[in-house]
Amino acid sequence: MCSIIGFCDRRAQYEVVKTALLKTLSRGPDSTRIIDTGNGYLGFNRLSIMGLNEAGMQPFGLDGSWVVCNGEIYGFRAMKKRLITEGYTFKSDSDCEILLPLYEEYGTDMFRMLDAEYALIIYDAETESYIAARDPFGIRPLYYGTTEDGIMTFASEPKNLVGLCHEIKPFPPGHYYKDGKFVCYHDVSKVNKYNCTDDMDTISSHIHDLLIKGVEKRLDADAPVGFLLSGGLDSSLVCAISAKLLNKPIETYAIGMDIDAIDLKYAREVADFIGSNHHEIIIDRNDVINAIEPVIAALGTYDITTVRASIGMYLICKAIHEQSQVRVLLTGEISDELFGYKYTDFAPSAEEFQKEAEKRVRELHMYDVLRADRCISVNSLEARVPFGDLDFVDYVMHIDPEKKLNKYNKGKYLLRHAFEKDHILPEDILMREKAAFSDAVGHSLKDDIAEYAESKYTDSEFAEKCAKYTHATPFTKESLLFREIFEKYYPGQSEMVVDFWMPNKTWPGCDVKDPSARVLSNYGDSGK
C-alpha cells in the first residue's frame, strides 16, 4: 500500500504539499518523494511490494511527464514485454513503471486495458495537464477537492486534504478525470444481459476457475504475503486455494474476543486442514473501546457496521505488522455483494436481488472496501481482494439472478457448490453459514461498544446532539458517538459517505434499526 498526492497548479506550495502527504506516511513508510512538475507537485509515500530496490521509487518520469500510482497492475510483465518491443526501456521491476508508456501509446484508453487495483495521477507534459483515475471497485482509495486558492487536488485519503479543501469527495470508481470532467470507463455494476443459458454445472465451473485465477494473480509479490482467516466461507476459500497453489504452508491470522469468539475455532479447523502456520490474536473489552477513536480517525467514516467490523480488522493488522514480516494480506471482501448477505434472503424477486447487488457493488468503496483499505494500510500493509477480480465479478454479475436467490436453504450456494468437488475445505466449513465479521470476533464486541456509547450520553443530551446533524442523522447513541469522533477529524465532511449501511428496509423482514445480521429472523445458526 502506498499514498499519492497531486496539487495540480503552479501556485501550489511545496511545504503545504509535503505536510499533507506526511499525514498518510503509514501507507508508505519506506520512503517519500515529491517532484515539481513545473505546473504543480506530485508526491508519493512508498510501501515496497514489487521491485523492492530504489529504482522502483515513484514518481516515474518519461519525456517530461510524471505518474504516481498506488496500485498493483496484474499481468504487467506481459505488457512490459510488449512495450519493450515498441522501443521503451525500464529501470525497475516495478509494475507501475509501465503506466507512462501505456499512456503515451494509448492515452486514456489505457484505463480499460488495466487488470488492476489502483489509483493514479498523471502529469502530461505535452498538454501541461493532469489526469487521475481509479479502479472500477475503488479498492485503492482516491479523494479530491479544491483549495481556497482554486487548486485542484487529489490524494489517497481525505485526511490529506482536511483543512485545505472546503469539500472533500471520493473519486468515483471506474472513472478517469481529464480536462475538468469525470469520465466513466468501466461500470462494474452495469449488467446488460444475463447468461441465462448457463446451467448449474457451467456456472459452477466458471465460478471455480475464475476465482482460482483471481487468487493466483494476487499471490505475485516480492514482499512476504499473509492471509486473514475468519473461518467463514470467503476467507477460508481464499486461504485454501492459495495453499494449494503455493504448495507450502501459508501464514494465516485470526482474531477473537477473550470470552465469546465465535469464529476462532472454525479458523483453527481450516488452518489445520490446509496445514497453515496459524496465528491467533486475542482481544478484550479494553482493546475494543480503546480502538474506537483511532479506527474512526483512520477510516474517515461514521458508518455503524463499518466501524464495528473495522475494530477487529484494525487490531489484527496491527498485530501482524508488529509481530511479523508480512506486508501483503489477501482478504475475503466483495463476496457478499455478489452472492448475497443474510438479508438478501428476503429479496422479494430476482429483479430486486439484482438491483440490490448492483447498488452494493457501486457503493463498495464507501463501506467494506474502505474498511479493508484503511485498517490494513494504517498498519503499513497492502490489501489484495481476489473476489474483486474483474473477470470473476463480470461473470457473477451476469448470472441469472433467479439462480442466485437462496432457493437452496443455504446462502451463497453457487459459490459453495463450485468448490464441493475439490475437497479443499472441510464440508462443515464449506457449508457453514458465516456470522457477520464484527459479531464473529465476539458478540460481546458489539455489545461492549453499545454499552460504552450508552454511558456517554443522557437521553436529553442524545436528542440535542443528534439534532445538529441534518445529513445521516445519528439514530442511536452508538451512531452519535461515532459521528462526534468523525467530526473531530473530518469536520463537515459527512457526505463522503452517502448514508448508513443498512439492509433494504423496503423488503419484508428487513425494516430493522441495527445493521447487524443478528437482528434478522433468519440469522439462525450463523452465530454459533
**How many other CB atoms are found less than 10 A from the CB of residue 292?**
22
Res 525: pLDDT: 60
For residue 433, the model assigns a pLDDT of 79
What are the distances in angstroms from CA 313 to CA 50, 288, 321, 517?
24, 11, 12, 18
Angle at which helix 233-246 crosses helix 200-217, to 10 degrees, equals 70
**Domains delineated in the chain:** 3-184 (3.60.20.10), 211-451 (3.40.50.620)
Q: Is the peptide bond before 59 cis (omega within 30 degrees of 0)?
A: yes
Q: Name, in order, each residue with C-beta under 8 angstroms of 107's C-beta and a sequence gap of 6 or more.
A: none
- Containing H/E element for 145? strand 143-146
Q: Please give the positions annotated as active site.
A: 2
Those residues with Cβ within 8 angstroms of residue 386's Cβ, 6 or more apart along the chain or in another chain? 211, 214, 215, 218, 238, 241, 330, 332, 392
Q: Of 295, 268, 294, 299, nearest to 281 (Cα)?
A: 268
The 3-state DSSP class for residue 522 equals coil
Q: DSSP code of 168?
A: -
Distance CA(51)–CA(96), nearest Å, equals 10
pLDDT of residue 505: 95
Q: Which three cell numbers stand for residue 395?
A: 461473470
C-alpha cell at 89: 526501456
Strands (E), 229-363: 251-257, 277-283, 328-330
Q: Which amino acid is at 168?
A: I
Q: What is the pLDDT of residue 434?
A: 65
Q: Between β-strands 328-330 and 225-228, what pairing exists: parallel, antiparallel or unpaired?
A: parallel
Residues of the chain with pLDDT under 70: 51, 195-196, 434-440, 524-528
Segments in 364-476 forming alpha helices (H): 368-377, 390-397, 401-404, 413-418, 427-430, 437-441, 443-456, 459-466
User: Distance between CA 233 and CA 418 in Å, rounded?
Assistant: 12
CA distance 251 to 240: 12
Q: What is the pLDDT of residue 524?
A: 62
The grid cell for 186 is 468501466
In 316-363, beta strands by DSSP E: 328-330
pLDDT tens, position by position, 85-126? 999 999 999 999 999 999 999 999 999 999 999 999 999 999
Cβ atoms < 10 Å from Cβ of 85: 7
pLDDT at 3: 96
Give the whole-angstrom CA distance, residue 393 versus residue 214. 10
